[in-house]
């Protein structure tokens, strides 16, 4: 069994300040973890992924995430928010136990205030 | 050169009708998926096919019938549409069944009146 919990449904930050979007997971298998971004009325775009290599993962647009097994977390961060970062962010866990089981978090809406 | 494409982008129809959504990927991937995103943005997997074979069916009503004529296409047919079917439907593909990145289509916004 696996699950993903995105702890905040909405996060609001000022432009130029740090971003922290929290994600906790549980998985019976060795998981892969992903962050996807969805801009309004658009499809989902991969930001970054962890697949059992380096625990600190760098993605596009200055985002990064750190896989912490002891805390079962995969929080997404960015040092300085930009207006174009305003979007919905999804944390995703997958594993390949038999077939690829994919579980999405409920999403975090990031608002960036000018 | 769109990697994963869906048609139509918007679909407005009456309750009780039957409609289809088409998905095609030109990435050479083996595995394709359908997801439903509700009004609260929650994404839920519906089906997955690997090389034209159904491998995931997540307790979706049997009014929904996926069809994969070949591994590059996964279509979704919906019979007797209901108001609750209104959502955005996303198609996605992955190279195989491992821990792979999902490549998403742009979505089809279905509105049932």
CA distance B35 to B103: 12
Does A89 contact B at CB distance below 8 Å?
no
**pLDDT tens, A50-98?**
987 788 999 999 999 999 989 999 999 999 999 999 999 999 988 765 5
Across A1-114, the runs of DSSP E, i.e. the strands, are 2-6, 10-14, 19-21, 23-27, 32-38, 44-50, 56-58, 64-68, 73-78, 87-95, 101-104, 108-113
Instruction: Chunk chain B into consecutive blocks of 10 residues (it has 113) and report each block's average pLDDT, rounded to whole numbers.
Output: 87 96 94 90 87 81 92 95 95 78 91 96
Within 8 A of A95 by CB-CB distance, chain B residues are 99
Contact B5, B23 (CB under 8 A): yes
CA distance A74 to A95: 15
Distance from the Cα of A100 to chain B's closest Cα (Å) equals 5
Q: Which two tokens stand for residue A108?
A: 């975090």
Q: Is B90 exposed, middle or buried (0-12, 13-18, 19+ CB in 10 A)?
A: buried
**pLDDT tens, B25-38?**
999 998 899 999 98
């Amino acid at each position: 069994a696996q699950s993903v919990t995105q702890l905040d449904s909405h996060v609001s930050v000022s432009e130029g300040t740090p971003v922290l979007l929290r994600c906790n997971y549980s998985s019976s298998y060795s998981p892969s973890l992903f962050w996807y971004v969805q801009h309004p009325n658009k499809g989902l775009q991969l930001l970054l992924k962890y697949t059992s290599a380096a625990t600190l993962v760098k993605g596009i647009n200055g985002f990064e995430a750190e896989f912490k097994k002891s805390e079962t977390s995969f929080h997404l961060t960015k040092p300085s928010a930009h207006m174009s970062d305003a979007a919905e962010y999804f944390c995703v866990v997958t594993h390949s136990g038999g077939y690829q089981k994919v579980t999405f978090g409920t999403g975090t809406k990031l608002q960036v205030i000018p | 050169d769109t990697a994963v494409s869906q048609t139509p982008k918007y679909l407005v129809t009456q309750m009780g009708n039957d409609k289809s959504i088409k998905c095609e990927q030109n990435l050479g991937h083996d595995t394709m998926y359908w997801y439903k995103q509700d009004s609260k943005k929650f994404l839920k997997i519906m089906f997955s096919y690997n090389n034209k074979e159904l491998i995931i069916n997540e307790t979706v009503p049997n009014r929904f019938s996926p069809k994969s004529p070949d591994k590059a296409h996964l279509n979704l047919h919906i019979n007797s549409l209901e108001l609750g079917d209104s959502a955005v439907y996303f198609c996605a593909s992955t190279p195989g069944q491992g821990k792979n990145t999902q490549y998403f289509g742009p979505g089809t916004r279905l509105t049932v009146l």
